[in-house]
Amino acid sequence: MPETTAISAPSLESLGLSRDRPLVLVDVDEVLGLFMQGFGDFLASRGLEMRIERFALFQNIYRPGEAQHVDLDTGRELFNAFFADHCHRIEPAPGAVAALNRLTASAEILILSNAPAEAERLRARWLESHGLKHPLILNSGPKGPIAAALTAQTPQPTAFVDDLLPNLDSVADHSPATATFQHVADERLRPFAPRSERHPRIDDWAELAEAIETAIRR
């Protein structure tokens, strides 16, 4: 168990959530939304290419005709530009909206996304445009501390969904009672995504919703 990191989190009540129902924390990029597809479209508008060759981000960005991916600084600039102006233009992951609508019958849903603070307005608009009227928290770094601060507020069962093993491991370490699930939305990424026995990997949202319901049922 890692050392407990002191972190402030909003109260569930301030987010419009009940402590008396199970709580499900859900990531956005490559979980609820097809981030790599949307980011690839953004790159194309800048004359660049997204080549899905590994489970990575900047190392998949190329200038046409070049064999070496762009450098880290260029990748970060593009990433920040995307979130500043274009992150609301991604498509929902197949089945994600229906699955969350199903889960709202038995749980409170909280969207927990690692994204620049500047993205909050557009990310919230994207969620609402697809009928996902759930509270949103933007985080940076491992998600375990913020997830633990949120799940500690309820005696009910909790669950967490993300595509990245470091975030899943972090939540499992900081909030061991929380059920963790891995989901990779983009079919092109799935062959490259690492797995872990700690977290069930379920890439079909209908099946994932059923597994979450089972995990949070008392």
pLDDT in tens, 44-57: 999 999 999 999 99
6 falls in which pLDDT band (50, 70, 90)? low
Burial category of 140 from C-beta neighbours within 10 Å (exposed 0-12, middle 13-18, buried 19 and up): exposed
pLDDT of residue 218: 72
What is the DSSP-derived secondary structure letter of residue 70?
Answer: P
Region 19-39 average pLDDT: 98
> What share of the chain in percent tops pLDDT 70?
97
Same domain, 151 and 45: no
pLDDT of residue 4: 47
Q: Which single residue is written with the structure tokens 């609508």?
A: 101
What end-to-end distance do the CA atoms of the chain give, in Å? 26
Same domain, 102 and 133: yes
Domains of the chain: total: 2
pLDDT in tens, 66-93: 999 999 999 999 999 999 999 999 999 9
Same domain, 98 and 85: no
Give the residue from 182, 170, 188 showing the smallest Cα distance to 207.
Answer: 182
The angle at the Cα of 45, spanning 40 to 50, to the nearest 5 degrees, equals: 25
Cα–Cα distances in Å, from 176 out to 31, 59, 94, 157, 168? 21, 33, 29, 11, 11
Same domain, 66 and 173: no
C-alpha span between 19 and 180 (Å, rounded): 19
pLDDT in tens, 127-154: 999 999 999 999 999 999 999 999 999 9
- Where in the sequence is the domain holding 53, given as residue range(s)? 36-89
pLDDT of residue 1: 44
CATH of the domain at 121: 3.40.50.1000
Same domain, 152 and 117: yes
Token pair in block for residue 192: 């490259």
14-17 long-range CB contacts below 8 Å, 24 or more apart? Answer: 15/110, 15/135, 15/137, 16/135, 17/108, 17/110, 17/135
C-alpha span between 66 and 132 (Å, rounded): 40
Strands 179-182 and 158-162: parallel
Residue pair 169/196 in contact by the 8 Å Cβ criterion = yes
Residue 3 lies in a domain: no
CA max distance for the chain: 56
**With a threshold of 0.85, does the pTM exceed it?**
yes
Give the residue from 33, 34, 69 showing the smallest Cα distance to 49.
Answer: 69
